[in-house]
Structure 1
Amino acid sequence: MVHHVVRHIVRGLAAAGGAVALAFTGTVLTGTAGPAAELETPVVYPSGSSVTRADRLGFDACTAPSLAALRAWKGRSPYTAVNIYFGGNNRGCAQPNLTASWVRDATAAGWRLLPTYFGYQPYCMFGDKEHRYNATNATVLGTSDGTDAVARAKALGLLPGSALYADVEHYDRTVTSCRTAVRRYVSAWTKKLHASGYLAGVYVHQDSGLRDLSSSYTSTSYARPDAVWMARWDGNQALTGWPTAPNWQWSLSQRAKQYRGDHDETWGGVTLNIDSDRLKAPVATVARTYRVTSPDALNARSGPGTSYSVVRSYAPGAALPAVCQGLGQRVGTTAVWDRLTTGAWVSDYYVSTPSSTGFSPALPRCTYPGQVTTDSLNARTGPGVSYPTTGSPLRRGALAPVMCQKAGSRVGTTAVWNRLSDGRWVTDYYVSNRSSTTWSAPVPRCP
């Protein structure tokens, strides 16, 4: 993905739809917990973080478009997400627009951002990229790329909880050691990002990276990435029915597809050369600025309720860097509380968000996902096994969108239950949060 013309040649014929299909059969068992040492590593979320998911169309251009171009496309094009190539030693296109202020303003205008890091590539990659890894140094280089990606993301205002996608270009998977190298690199990338509070995504070709990561999905030798972004230029936007990964893998808003390659589109009088993408996946989390609307100082608290301690106060009219919204004690007309970049909470009743009675669409729900560690996890109507099940079970590796935690019936080593963003409940014992015995910071307690 360095040079917009070269990278499309590199991806090869399969991305244009000429893939060899694989058939997946068999029965997925239920009720067994998976080892979490490597496979489902927990994300160490800091307090001022949250995961943001996008369910929409997006596009990627080699160079981040100007804000003027985004304004021209907004509301006229079908796209409301845009990819950004924010780092990596194999990145080739200049990024004159990509600054922290661009990130802030693009987000304020309603764009979701899909951050991609073009670092080291497999040594058997098709193409001529200079910087490559092999099976011997893949772990070291995956870790160093992860370290650099986190630093660059923070400098741009991409907050912890953001998903950062490692670009893994198409490679010759007939070379066995190269397939091992890819798995080691992605595993190291994933563990480094998780330890730094970020979700780990990968951009992959359907006939190399996706195929190999799918076949090692349950391997305890490698940490599993949280999301996959697959290239197959067949014009089909579907996020299921992929020929090289079964639907139960990366099953809960963890997929994106680049369904159309290099082409020009014109909207609002502005022409850009883009690829087209369908997203239902985690993206960047970026703070939005609102104002205090109360006539008196607004207390920010350690939790979403007035019983929590005051950590600081904001003067009337002061700017508030809001990350996400969660539920807490009712104040005035709303039970919504806003989490700030400091990790503190303020009642949304006194904040200039669009709604004073419920959630505001511009801000994501505060969620702290962990991967499911069992083959099939029942979701229930309340925090205990006595409550009836509801909806479809969560499959192994699903990114459970945990909003808050509450004590319930004991399962395994814990009595903690997780309330998901859709209102359902799952035991924390089968979710790879930071603790399997007690509460996991910074997840708040459910009201």
Structure 2
Amino acid sequence: MDRRRKIIGYLVALTAAAVQVVGGAGPASADDRGDPRDEGAVIFRGKGIDACQAPSLNTLSAWESSPYEAVGVYFGGRARACPNQHYLSRRWLTGAKDLGWRVLPVYVGSQSPCVSASHKRGFSISDDEPWDQGIEEGEDAVRRASALGIASRSPIYLDMEAYNYRDADCARVTLSFIRGFSRAVGHLGYIPGFYSSANAGVRHMDNARRDGRSSLPEVMWFARWRVSPSTTGEPNLGSRAWTPHRRIHQYAGNVTETYGGRTLNIDRNQIDAPVAIIR
């Protein structure tokens, strides 16, 4: 099936799904999605880490003495900084689960054309078909997650590094890609999440919410460092938006910590959001 027929098939299926929403009003907005647990999600509230490489199971075992109980895992995407994940596998995910760790699956796909980080500029979203590209990468994310034993109703967090959302053309392309990605991930039974800087991508998403845009991510993971950890009170998010249990605050980055004789360079996160369901 060629790309055009594939996209048309998506739109037909998604239009039919939207009609089934109560009152025929279409997908719920970021203000009124309700509790993700009602949709089969598993929620974790507490502290977590993310690291470029998935830590070994021995390290996770040693870190049981830490205040952290969740770990972000970069499982796929063309712009992933650490593509050679030495430990990440179905066995690793099962082992992490058995040790009591919750998992946040992160997909680092194509990046905004006006991304700030120079090392991400070689992975730009296409200006021509950003929606289609978002759908294709959303499908890829679901395939990779499923192959690792991450079940439906798990979140998939799209990592979009900071970009200049005030550039109107760039913002249009980036938003179209994000919406396509979110639409595909949601249609395939997973929960579309989004990670970015609070002052860039996250603010852009909240502006889109205020404008009434549909197909936005359902969970918001915002980076704002050097402040107290909190999933509430973020100034770039509406107070009711992405609630309840739909927020993660990355409050510190590139810090080194040691527990049980094992040292990791990590980012710190305060979590009140869905985590992976491991088969």
Tell me if TM exceeds 0.5.
yes
Task: Please tell me whether the aligned partners of residues 74 and 105 of structure 2 are also in contact (alpha carbons under 8 angstroms).
Answer: yes
CA offset at residue 268 of structure 1? Answer: 0.6
Structure-2 residue corresponding to 1:92? 81
Q: Amino acid of the residue matched to residue 79 of structure 2? A: N
- Corresponding residue to 2:112 among 122, 128, 131: 122
| Cα pair distance change 1:154/1:222, threshold 3 Å | same
Q: Amino acid of the residue matched to residue 177 of structure 1? A: D
Structure-1 residue corresponding to 2:10? none
* 1:63 is aligned to 2:53: yes
Task: Please tell me whether the aligned partners of residues 86 and 117 of structure 1 are also in contact (alpha carbons under 8 angstroms).
Answer: yes
Measure, in 2, the Cα distance between the counterparts of 1:229 and 1:182: 17
CA offset at residue 263 of structure 1? Answer: 1.0
CA offset at residue 35 of structure 1? Answer: 3.4
- Corresponding residue to 2:221 among 229, 233, 253: 229
Structure-2 residue corresponding to 1:261? 253
Structure-2 residue corresponding to 1:324? none
- Corresponding residue to 2:177 among 185, 195, 199: 185
Task: Please tell me whether the aligned partners of residues 44 and 271 of structure 2 are also in contact (alpha carbons under 8 angstroms).
Answer: yes
Instruction: Write 1 or 2 for the structure with the bigger share of strand.
Output: 1
| Cα pair distance change 1:58/1:34, threshold 3 Å | farther
* 1:164 is aligned to 2:153: no
Measure, in 1, the Cα distance between the counterparts of 2:132 and 2:212: 19
CA RMSD of aligned residues (A): 2.0
Task: Please tell me whether the aligned partners of residues 126 and 133 of structure 2 are also in contact (alpha carbons under 8 angstroms).
Answer: no
CA offset at residue 220 of structure 1? Answer: 4.5
Structure-1 residue corresponding to 2:97? 107
**Paired residue secondary structure (1:204):** strand
Measure, in 1, the Cα distance between the counterparts of 2:94 and 2:209: 35
Give the share of equivalent positions with the same residue, in percent.
Answer: 34
Superimposed CA distance per residue, residues 161-218 of structure 1 (whole angstroms, 9 cap, x where no aligned partner): 1000000110012211111122211111111011111000000111111111101115
Measure, in 2, the Cα distance between the counterparts of 1:193 and 1:71: 32
CA offset at residue 135 of structure 1? Answer: 4.6
Q: Amino acid of the residue matched to residue 237 of structure 1? A: P
Structure-2 residue corresponding to 1:251? 243
Measure, in 1, the Cα distance between the counterparts of 2:128 and 2:210: 23
CA offset at residue 136 of structure 1? Answer: 3.1
Measure, in 1, the Cα distance between the counterparts of 2:29 and 2:180: 11
Q: What is the correspondence of 1:327-346 to structure 2 with a 5 Å cutoff?
A: none
What are structure 1's unaligned runs of at least 5 residues? 1-32, 43-48, 288-447
CA offset at residue 56 of structure 1? Answer: 1.0
**Paired residue secondary structure (2:209):** coil
**Paired residue secondary structure (1:217):** helix
Structure-1 residue corresponding to 2:26? 36
| Cα pair distance change 1:57/1:34, threshold 3 Å | farther
**Paired residue secondary structure (1:122):** coil
Measure, in 2, the Cα distance between the counterparts of 1:154 and 1:233: 32
Task: Please tell me whether the aligned partners of residues 112 and 174 of structure 2 are also in contact (alpha carbons under 8 angstroms).
Answer: yes
CA offset at residue 37 of structure 1? Answer: 5.6
Structure-2 residue corresponding to 1:196? 188
CA offset at residue 223 of structure 1? Answer: 0.7
| Cα pair distance change 1:215/1:139, threshold 3 Å | same
Report the TM-score when normalising by structure 1.
Answer: 0.53
Number of corresponding residues: 248
**Paired residue secondary structure (1:237):** coil
What are structure 2's unaligned runs of at least 5 residues? 1-22, 34-38
Superimposed CA distance per residue, residues 108-135 of structure 1 (whole angstroms, 9 cap, x where no aligned partner): 1110000000010000001232111145
Task: Please tell me whether the aligned partners of residues 135 and 184 of structure 1 are also in contact (alpha carbons under 8 angstroms).
Answer: no
Q: What is the correspondence of 1:4-23 to structure 2 with a 5 Å cutoff?
A: none
- Corresponding residue to 2:197 among 184, 189, 205: 205
* 1:81 is aligned to 2:70: yes
* 1:151 is aligned to 2:148: no
Measure, in 2, the Cα distance between the counterparts of 1:264 and 1:101: 26
**Paired residue secondary structure (1:216):** helix
Measure, in 2, the Cα distance between the counterparts of 1:206 and 1:137: 26
Measure, in 2, the Cα distance between the counterparts of 1:238 and 1:39: 23
Measure, in 2, the Cα distance between the counterparts of 1:219 and 1:249: 13
Q: Whose relative contact order is higher, 1 or 2, with alpha carbons under 8 Å and at least 6 apart?
A: 2
Measure, in 2, the Cα distance between the counterparts of 1:190 and 1:169: 16
Task: Please tell me whether the aligned partners of residues 113 and 174 of structure 2 are also in contact (alpha carbons under 8 angstroms).
Answer: no
Superimposed CA distance per residue, residues 123-157 of structure 1 (whole angstroms, 9 cap, x where no aligned partner): 00012321111453211111111011001001110
CA offset at residue 84 of structure 1? Answer: 0.2
- Corresponding residue to 2:277 among 277, 285, 298: 285
Q: Amino acid of the residue matched to residue 78 of structure 1? A: P
Task: Please tell me whether the aligned partners of residues 135 and 180 of structure 1 are also in contact (alpha carbons under 8 angstroms).
Answer: no
Task: Please tell me whether the aligned partners of residues 182 and 209 of structure 1 are also in contact (alpha carbons under 8 angstroms).
Answer: no
Measure, in 1, the Cα distance between the counterparts of 2:157 and 2:185: 10
